[in-house]
């Protein structure tokens, strides 16, 4: 167990570790100065790749080779995509998809 | 339009008139995050209380750290022996993906003025996904919209952690699977982005390389190699991509 002052230091360090990852790009490339062309290019093409990465990230703990083989996740994800392409209503797609998933994991 | 005399009252009235609609415009986009953070924050609050932390400490940490995976990862080191360097490196690794988000948002946050620093401190996965992928409704100022999204999400997180750490031990309900709201939200944002962009090269590169890294390296450690692979691929393909890219 840590002492109170060690605990305070640890919390400060955790905060610093997290917030450095958020602030670093903005501190390295301040708004006043022209951002290098390469970084401008990155900030144009990265969003597409970053959202794809987030989608894959959500499926990282799904066991496709065991148990339900990822069936509830894939069916619910397909339902979200189909609903969204059909109605383009974010709350409907997300809400219905989540309810479908919660029902599926109780069935499978 | 009637011209009204300018007065302090009027200025204050105008401010409320603008802040209200912006929050109303942003709120629907944040509802999935309200559900997601509700679950995650509640769970974190329960865990922290069960680990013996004073709810005030948990709430304070949620206010200033405001990172789901970062705070879950911090629970064990907080209970172990004092190891400042280890916990620092752990948090940098767990949160390295934020650098990615920052690089993406450099342009969008550029003109946010004083709001910018708060918006950076609140740049979580979920806030990033909305502020990066969603166009504000017509007539709504982009900066104010993104600022409202950041504040709303931050509020959901802190309130959920408060509820979890204070009442968590007494509340029982079967919420298994509710965390799927986050997956569903990212899928919707992915589709929106896909329909909006003319060139899908970046989205496809991101998808393929993340999937390959996940399969080859495994869930525990794939994130940073995946980010590096994406970064490399986009660097190598800069010539052809830049010629075709009209965001």
Do A63 and A101 belong together in one domain? yes
Asked whether residue B60 carries a pLDDT value surpassing 90, the answer given is yes
For helices B55-64 and A4-28, the axis angle rounded to 10 degrees is 10
Nearest C-alpha neighbor of A106 from the set A63, A86, A76: A76
Q: Where are the domains of chain B?
A: 26-170+179-189, 197-247
**Which range of residues forms the domain containing residue A23?**
1-48
The answer to whether position A93 is within a domain reads yes
B222, exposed or middle or buried, with CB in 10 Å at 0-12, 13-18, 19+? Answer: buried
Tens digits of per-residue pLDDT, B154-213? Answer: 999 999 999 988 875 565 556 677 678 778 878 988 898 898 888 899 999 999 999 999
Contacts of B226 in chain A (CB under 8 A): 53, 56
The more confidently predicted of residues B128 and A94 is B128
Backbone φ and ψ for A62, nearest 5 degrees, come out as -80, 125
Tokens (6 digits) for B83: 């190891």
A vs B, Cβ pairs < 8 A, gives 250
- For residue B169, the model assigns a pLDDT of 56
Nearest C-alpha neighbor of B142 from the set B119, B117, B158: B119
A21, A29, A51 ranked by CB distance to B92: nearest: A21
Quote ipTM for the complex.
Answer: 0.84
3-state secondary structure of B113: coil
For residues B37 and B160, is the Cβ–Cβ distance under 8 A? yes
- B210/chain A closest Cα distance in angstroms: 6
Do A37 and A63 belong together in one domain? no
The answer to whether position A54 is within a domain reads no
- A88/chain B closest Cα distance in angstroms: 9
Do A42 and A63 belong together in one domain? no
**Most A CBs within 10 Å, among B104, B113, B223, to test the A interface:** B104
- A75/chain B closest Cα distance in angstroms: 12
Tokens (6 digits) for B126: 């979920």
CA B48, B51, B56, B58 dihedral sign is: negative
Do A43 and A80 belong together in one domain? no
B69: contact with A, CB 8 A cutoff = no
Lowest model confidence (mean pLDDT) among A63-67, B81-85, B178-182, B217-221: B178-182
Q: Which 19-48 residues of chain B touch chain A by CB within 8 A?
A: 28-29, 31-32, 35
Do A74 and A106 belong together in one domain? yes
The tally of domains found in chain A comes to: 2
Tokens (6 digits) for B6: 């300018």
B103, exposed or middle or buried, with CB in 10 Å at 0-12, 13-18, 19+? Answer: buried
Question: Would you list the DSSP string of chain A?
Answer: ---HHHHHHHHHHHHHHHHHHHHHHHHHS-TTSPPPHHHHHHHHHHHHHHHHHHHHHHTTT--SSSTTTTHHHHHHHHHHHHHHHHH--HHHHHHHHHHHHHHHHHH-
Tens digits of per-residue pLDDT, A33-90? Answer: 777 888 878 877 887 888 888 889 888 888 888 777 889 999 999 999 999 999 988 7
Helix runs in chain B, H state only: 8-50, 55-64, 68-79, 84-94, 97-105, 115-121, 125-133, 142-167, 180-196, 201-217, 223-236, 238-244
Q: What is the CA radius of gyration of chain B?
A: 21
Q: Which 106-165 residues of chain B touch chain A by CB within 8 A?
A: 106-107, 109-111, 116, 120-121, 123, 125, 128-129, 132-133
Do A37 and A66 belong together in one domain? no
Determine whether the interchain pair A55/B95 forms a contact, defined as Cβ–Cβ distance below 8 Å: no
**Cβ-based neighbours of B100, under 8 Å, separated by 6 or more:** A46, A50, A53, B227
Tens digits of per-residue pLDDT, B90-110? Answer: 788 778 788 889 988 998 998
- For residue B246, the model assigns a pLDDT of 55
For residues A26 and B106, is the Cβ–Cβ distance under 8 A? yes
Do A4 and A40 belong together in one domain? yes
């Amino acid at each position: 167990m840590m002492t109170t002052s060690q605990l305070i230091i640890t919390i400060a360090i955790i905060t610093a570790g997290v917030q450095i990852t958020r602030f670093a790009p903005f501190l390295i490339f301040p708004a006043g100065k022209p951002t290098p062309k390469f970084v401008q290019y990155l900030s144009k093409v990265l969003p597409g790749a970053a959202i794809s990465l987030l989608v894959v990230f959500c499926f990282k703990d799904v066991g496709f080779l065991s148990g339900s083989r990822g069936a509830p996740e894939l069916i619910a994800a397909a339902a979200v995509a189909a609903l969204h392409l059909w109605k383009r209503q974010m709350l409907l797609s997300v809400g219905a998809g989540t309810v479908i998933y919660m029902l599926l994991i109780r069935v499978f | 339009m009637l011209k009204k005399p300018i007065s302090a009252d009027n200025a204050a009235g105008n401010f409320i008139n603008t802040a209200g609609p912006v929050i109303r415009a942003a709120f629907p986009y944040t509802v999935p995050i309200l559900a997601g953070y509700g679950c995650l924050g509640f769970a974190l609050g329960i865990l922290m209380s069960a680990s013996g932390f004073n709810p005030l400490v948990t709430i304070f940490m949620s206010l200033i750290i405001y990172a789901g995976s970062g705070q879950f990862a911090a629970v064990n080191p907080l209970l172990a022996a004092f190891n400042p360097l280890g916990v620092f490196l752990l948090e940098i690794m767990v949160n390295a993906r934020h650098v990615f988000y920052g690089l993406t948002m450099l342009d969008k946050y550029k003109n946010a003025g004083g709001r910018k620093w708060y918006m950076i401190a609140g740049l979580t996965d979920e806030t990033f996904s909305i502020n990066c992928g969603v166009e504000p409704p017509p007539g709504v100022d982009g900066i104010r919209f993104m600022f409202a999204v950041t504040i709303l999400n931050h509020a959901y997180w802190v309130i959920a952690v408060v509820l979890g750490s204070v009442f968590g031990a007494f509340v029982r309900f079967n919420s298994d699977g509710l965390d799927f709201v986050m997956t569903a939200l990212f899928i919707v944002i992915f589709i929106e982005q896909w329909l909006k962009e003319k060139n899908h090269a970046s989205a496809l590169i991101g998808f393929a390389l993340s999937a390959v890294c996940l399969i080859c390296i495994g869930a525990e450690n794939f994130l940073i190699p995946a980010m590096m692979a994406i970064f490399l691929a986009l660097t190598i393909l800069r010539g052809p991509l830049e010629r075709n890219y009209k965001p």
